[in-house]
Amino acid sequence: MIDLHTHSTVSDGTETPTELLATAAGAGVTVLALTDHDTTGGWAEATAARPSGMTLVRGAEFSTVSPDGRGGEVTAHLLGYLFDPEDPAIVAEQERVRASRRDRVRAMGERMAAGGLPVDGEALLARLPADSPAGRPHIGQALVAAGVVESVSEAFAGPLRKDGPYYVEKYNTPMATAIAMIRAAGGVAVFAHPFARKKGPIVESSVILDLAAAGLDGIEIDHPDHGPEDRATLGALAAETGLIVTGSSDYHGTNKTNTPIAGETTAPAEFEKIIERAKGVEVLADRRPPAT
Ligand SMILES: [Zn+2]
Ligand SMILES: [Zn+2]
């Protein structure tokens, strides 16, 4: 089973890279991509922890902003696989986004404290590494610890929601820039959960056609936040454009409990297309391809 989108404690998952790989191996995953938000900070630990028999794809999920196809913009996520982690443009941009993420946690913490919620953004950040891509799940954990909500998912539906009184936006890389940056660093760029309506407004299909023409490599179709109709629409778009099609759990441990690891998977033939295009860093495997 191939799962190409997972998070560790290096961003907003609840398992360390070592624990994540053990969970994946226990679930029968043969190919795993580690795609923490806006960082490659977990790559070294994941590489060291890779069990024999498992293929490890080093990646990241980039925070971007995209035209929505209606004259406005929406935030969107872009998966980058197997890019050179030392590429100066990527290093600088990921640092910029992580700094903005920490500013956002601080600002949302201040708004929540002013609104009477027991959140201290500064104290929360002090417990994380200095270059952490801190996120709303970290605030959610603080809300759970304080007894305000019972789960991080409940916090996302409540105080952390995008249209709520405490929400603060962060800096996001323009989508076209992010695609070009990943490809210039030898990586493969896949639009993550493009139709995840629960996360907020989504792009029109026309935007995916434009991005495909501008160098996007693939789209994530089988994702827990995509319903059957949206999967069908995205499948038709992929067929029309030749975009690579992926499926993945977007596993965050107990921070998002809707899908277990490998709850959604990628077809081996599609994974092979990613391997063929990637030129940044090698996929890590005992032998290739073990994709089954
Ligand atoms: Zn995402
Ligand atoms: Zn994700």
pLDDT surpassing 70 at residue 205:
yes
Ligand 1 centroid to Cα of residue 216, in Å, is 16
Ligand 2 centroid to Cα of residue 82, in Å, is 16
Task: Please tell me the distance from the alpha carbon of residue 121 to that of residue 142, in angstroms, as a whole number.
Answer: 9
Overall average pLDDT of the 219-248 stretch: 97
Chain segment 30-59, per-residue pLDDT in tens: 999 999 999 999 999 999 999 999 999 999
- pLDDT bin (cut points 50, 70, 90) of residue 287 is low
Looking at the CA of 76, which ligand is closest? 1
Counting every residue written for the chain, the total comes to 292
Helices (H) and strands (E) in the chain, counts: 10, 8
Ligand 2 centroid to Cα of residue 250, in Å, is 5
Looking at the CA of 63, which ligand is closest? 1
Q: Which domains does the chain have, with CATH numbers?
A: 2-96+173-277 (3.20.20.140), 99-157 (1.10.150)
Ligand 2 centroid to Cα of residue 12, in Å, is 9
Q: Could you tell me what percent of the chain has a pLDDT over 70? A: 98
Q: What pLDDT shows up at residue 254?
A: 85
Ligand 1 centroid to Cα of residue 5, in Å, is 9
- pLDDT bin (cut points 50, 70, 90) of residue 288 is low
Task: Please tell me the distance from the alpha carbon of residue 66 to that of residue 74, in angstroms, as a whole number.
Answer: 5
Ligand 1 centroid to Cα of residue 36, in Å, is 9
**Concatenated DSSP letters for 192-260?**
ESTT-GGGS----HHHHHHHHHTT--EEEEE-TT--HHHHHHHHHHHHHHT-EEEE---B-GGGS-SS-
Neighbours of 141 (CB within 10 A): 18
Looking at the CA of 6, which ligand is closest? 2
Chain segment 137-173, per-residue pLDDT in tens: 999 999 999 999 999 989 999 999 999 999 999 999 9
Q: What pLDDT shows up at residue 258?
A: 72
Task: Please tell me the distance from the alpha carbon of residue 11 to that of residue 115, in angstroms, as a whole number.
Answer: 27
Ligand 2 centroid to Cα of residue 261, in Å, is 12
Ligand 2 centroid to Cα of residue 105, in Å, is 18
Ligand 2 centroid to Cα of residue 226, in Å, is 13
- pLDDT bin (cut points 50, 70, 90) of residue 291 is low
pTM of the model: 0.94
CB of 83 closer than 8 Å to CB of 279: no
